[in-house]
Amino acid sequence: SYELTQPPSVSVSPGQTASITCSADKLGDKYASWYQQKPGQSPVLVMYQDNKRPSGIPERFSGSNSGNSATLTISGTQAVDEADYYCQAWDSTTARFGGGTKLTVL
């Protein structure tokens, strides 16, 4: 089956840039999206169609997708960005999620 691979954890200092990767075979041929989930809350779409930000998502969030990897980048990371992040893509008619990355801001 088609698997999306994310690092389990990423740490970043406040104000620095955080990059979270998502890897899969020919992922660049599909659209990647990203979701932020804070403890006890529902997931929130933070990036869709590889690099589009939904309304209300800060400009410090950006995305890219090519080859076998998609990346969610958070510039000027703030404490409020600490959360779990999941990538997602469709493999034909089946949606796949990455295992999630815990972003720690310290």
Partner 1 sequence: EVQLLESGGGLVQPGGSLRLSCTGSGFIFSTYAMSWVRQAPGKGLEWLAAISGSDGSTDYADSVKGRFTISRDNSKNTLYLQMNTLRVEDTAVYYCATDLPYQYGMDVWGQGTMVTVSS
Q: In what order do the strands lie in the sheet with 18-23?
A: 18-23, 69-74, 61-66
Q: State which residue, 14 or 29, has the beta carbon closest to partner 1.
A: 29
Report how far apart the first and last C-alpha atoms of the chain are (Å, whole number): 36
- Give the x/- contact pattern for partner 1 in 36-65, rule: CB under 8 A: -x----xxxx-xxx--x-x-----------
Question: Is residue 16 involved in binding partner 1 (CB under 8 A)?
Answer: no
Residues that bind partner 1 (rule: CB under 8 A) add up to a total of 27
What are 92's two structure tokens?
């034909």
Toward partner 1, which CB reaches closer, 3 or 16? 3
